[in-house]
Amino acid sequence: MNETGGQSGQSAAGGRGRTTIASTVVEKVAYFAARDVDGVHALGSGLSRSVGALRQRVPGGATPTHGVKVDVGEKQTAIDLDLVVDYGEPITEVAGAVRESVISSVERMTGLEVVEVNIAVSDVKLPDEEEETEEERSPGQRVA
């Protein structure tokens, strides 16, 4: 499988061509499918979310896909997700719903078979925690 330029070996009607699907396409589909599940606060670790926020501010910056890694082959794909779940949500149920949403969306939109969706829950968003980026902190302050 090729993480940077995965391809789908699907042919057009009558075998008159080939359709390729880049890994970035699978990453975006998986990102939005996971993000829309109730109980998911964010994707990615704190650092990757900060880097993603900076990239979005740059004109022409990339669409956010932090917290998503994919391996794309000719007919199959494997997906790794890093989630932050809202406090009080049943983590295993949220992970199951994310897995189902991602598999359904990726298979429907790309035609690739999703062989696995690995989910790492890296944090829980507490109700009283504020969203804070690195640049909002004072220079000498390491933690709030």
Mapping DSSP onto H, E and C, the string for 36-55 reads CCCCEEEECCHHHHHHHHHH
Question: pTM of the entire structure?
Answer: 0.73
Over residues 11-51, the pLDDT tens digits come to: 545 578 988 999 999 999 999 999 999 999 999 975 444 44
Domain 10-126 in CATH 3.30.9.10? The answer is no
Q: Is the pLDDT of residue 134 over 80?
A: no
Q: How far is CA 137 from the centre of its chain?
A: 26
Over residues 76-124, the pLDDT tens digits come to: 999 999 999 999 999 999 999 999 999 999 999 999 999 999 999 999 9
Please tell me the predicted confidence (pLDDT) of residue 51.
44
Mapping DSSP onto H, E and C, the string for 75-99 reads CEEEEEEEEEEECCCCHHHHHHHHH
